[in-house]
Amino acid sequence: MEESFLARTSNSKIVSHLKTAENMSRQALRTKGALTKAARSLFEERGFHNCRINDITERAGVSVGTFYTYFGSKEDVFRALLAQVEDEVYGELSSSSAGSDSPAESIAQTNRLYLAAFRRNARFWTVLEEAALTDPESAKLLGDRRRYYQTRTKRALDRWQQRGEIAADIDTEFTALALGAMTERCAYIWFVYGLPVDLETASDHLTQLWLRAIGLQDPSR
């Protein structure tokens, strides 16, 4: 049966409405992306406290009212950026868990990925440390990041300990905390303060320290 004019008209309106909604959604994503990109560049240039919402909207080429369509405050856009960086760093670290589970290879791979991700985002980590001193939510997110990394490391140490690959008397919780703090601080000194270092060399030295701390030797040496 031939479709009626009314049906054709109604369907046409539905299709038109869907296309309009899709275009609006794409525009919204572009606008939000422009705001987050502008915010990140300004945070990295000026620091968390010296960046204003007006600065962000001016660089993104939108109005202040448009900013509040997507974010409730400067802290909100900052936390959205932190989530993006977290996804990059820990997405890579999580993907590494599918590889070898030998302690030496796993530690070496994780250290390389962590240092590479930290180096790419070094300027943003500087802003994060600043924000964490005054913004409780940013401090919580920073603490959550460290606890995640520590828990992940402790699980690996527990697993290797149960298999008899590392000493049974190692306190895995403290060891995970101490070695993680060492790695993070070294990354901060190298890539935030700008101490010249080759990433592969740095990763190798850290890995040797990790292995010695848990009583292992690198089998490749």
Up-side HSE of residue 54: CA atoms within 13 Å toward CB? 1
Across the range 67-85, mean pLDDT stands at: 88
Q: Write down which residue in 49, 70, 91 finishes a domain.
A: 70
Same structural domain, 45 and 79 = no
Classify residue 118 as exposed, middle or buried by CB count within 10 Å of its CB (0-12, 13-18, 19+): buried
Number of domains in the chain: 2
CATH code, domain carrying 100: 1.10.357.10
Same structural domain, 54 and 92 = no
pLDDT tens across 12-70, in order?
Answer: 544 454 444 455 488 888 899 999 999 999 999 998 888 999 999 999 999 999 999 99
- What's the CA gap between 176 and 27, in Å, rounded? 45
- What's the CA gap between 113 and 168, in Å, rounded? 28
Would 193 be classed as within a structural domain? Answer: yes
Across the range 177-189, mean pLDDT stands at: 93
Would 110 be classed as within a structural domain? Answer: yes
Q: Write down which residue in 53, 70, 87 finishes a domain.
A: 70
Query: Of 41-50, 86-95, 135-144, where does mean pLDDT reach its minimum?
Result: 86-95
Would 99 be classed as within a structural domain? Answer: yes
Cβ neighbours, 10 Å, residue 96: 15
Q: Which of 56-65, 79-88, 128-137 has the highest mean pLDDT?
A: 56-65
Would 218 be classed as within a structural domain? Answer: no
Output the pTM of the full model: 0.73
Of 208, 162, 159, 161, give the one whose Cα is nearest residue 183: 208
Q: Domain of residue 133: give its range.
A: 75-213
Q: What is the mean pLDDT of the chain?
A: 82
H or E segment to which residue 25 belongs: helix 5-46
- What's the CA gap between 219 and 50, in Å, rounded? 50
User: What six digits make up the tokens of 119?
Assistant: 């180096």
Residues across the chain: 221
Give CA 130 to chain center in angstroms.
17
